[in-house]
Amino acid sequence: MKKAKITKRILLGMAAVMIAFAGILCFMYRHELKTLGTLKEKSAGVYTMTYDGDYGFDEFLETGAASDADIEAFVTKRLLKGLPISLNVSGAGCTAFVSQNEEGDVIYARNFDFLYAPFLQIFTEPDNGYASVSTVNLSFAGYGEDNLPSSGISFRNFLTLAAPYLPFDGMNEKGVCIALLAVPEVQMTDDPEKITLNTTTAIRLVLDKAASVDEAVELLRGYNIYFSGDVTCHFLIADATGKSVIVEYYDGGLQVVEADTDYQIASNFVAYHGLNIGEGYTEFERYYAVEEVLRNNNVVTMAECEKLLNTIGVYDGETDKLQWSVVYNLTDKTGRIWPHRDIGEAWDFTVWQ
């Protein structure tokens, strides 16, 4: 009888220790667990998530990253609590344009064409920065057709916590919008006095810190940039006033290409000084298809945006490379996004959703 009581006390003590340990873990990981609890699967390979708490971007900006390995190390330590991540980037063909809708609102429309890219729309609201919504290519974080997240809290979802560092396009609460698009070459010289960012953390910098196109350009001028996976890129940036620029890295440094019309279009070619250095694929056909719609009347409805983006999405032989399309309204900070060419799967959103 005495032995049974001792055993019972031991078991109760072990249970108490386990409960206490579980409580400590839940407290330590409270932001991560709350974030993962918001992960929702919209359709196969398509997700939304709201990030809770601080993702350490100000800390990251103190040192930056000179390589993907540096980003992997920071994200592993700061966000993933030691779980390793491997960034994986390959070429992409994209098209984006800035115009206005029938109500006079500034709109920014964008296709992302890729081999296969499950994607996540993430909402962030840092303490020392602007709220934003952005789209993340989850294949960059190591996810694929045979390795996808699922709704809710799960160990296999843990890598999605790296999403704040992996945006490919987005809009913030000030109406600043930015997207990356691949180009065949860059020409730049690094400044040893500047911290280095990659293409996706440069987008995070703009979304978190810029209230206008001018602020975005000045922020980017303060950093060197390297191109993850050696996929060279330029950026189309716009704001709620209707101002837009293409930022390219050419002729030794950051160059700004301003619009000479009421709209601006970007595709996969170097636009600086009219060089028009392309990839030799469909970048000019896509550009001219958008220009044909906008040059006589730069007003486009949402329905027209949907049709145009679906029309110019890239096919590679019989493979449909269009992974997502998104239209941001920079005036009222709303938008619509859909996977592939499936308008029936579209959903509307706001920056603060």
The predicted structure's pLDDT at residue 12 = 47
| Per-residue pLDDT at 311 | 97
pLDDT at 77: 84
63 contacts 184 by C-beta, under 8 angstroms? no
pLDDT digits (tens, 9 = 90+) for 70-110: 998 898 888 876 767 777 655 567 999 999 999 999 999 99
With respect to residue 170, please indicate whether it lies within any of the assigned structural domains: yes
Query: The domain that contains 96 carries what CATH number?
Result: 3.60.60.10
- The reply to whether 212 falls in a domain is yes
pLDDT of the residue at 19:
43
| pLDDT tens digits along 42-63 | 999 999 999 998 999 999 999 9
161: in domain: yes
For residue 264, give Cα distances in angstroms to 44, 107, 225: 33, 11, 24
Q: Which residues of 200-228 are buried (b: 16+ CB within 10 A; e: fewer)?
A: bbbbbbbbbbbebbeebbebbeebbbbbb
**Residue 345 is assigned to a structural domain of this protein:** yes
Residue 68 lies inside a defined structural domain of this protein: yes
Q: Residue 177 contacts by C-beta under 8 Å, 6 or more apart in sequence? A: 98, 108, 169, 170, 171, 237, 238, 239, 328, 330
- Residue 234 neighbours by CB distance under 10 Å: 26
**Residues lower than pLDDT 50 in the chain:** 11-28
**Structure-token match 């390795």, residue found:** 147
DSSP string of 138-175, one letter each residue? GGGGT-BTTB---SSS-GGGGGGGGGGG-EEEEEETTS
Quote the pLDDT of residue 31.
Answer: 67
pLDDT value, residue 78: 83
As given in the structure block, the two tokens for residue 104 are 């006079």
Domain presence at residue 27: no
What is the distance of C-alpha 290 from the center of its chain? Answer: 23
Q: Please report the pLDDT score of residue 30 as a whole number.
A: 62
Closest CA to 169 of 256, 76, 70, 235: 235
Structural domain boundaries enclosing 122: 38-350
Nearest of 164, 109, 111, 114 to residue 139 by alpha carbon: 114
Number of domains in the chain: 1
The pLDDT of residue 82: 73
pLDDT at res. 150: 84
Within a domain: 31: no
Question: What was the pLDDT predicted at 1?
Answer: 58
Give the per-residue pLDDT at 153. 74
Domain assignment present for residue 28? The answer is: no
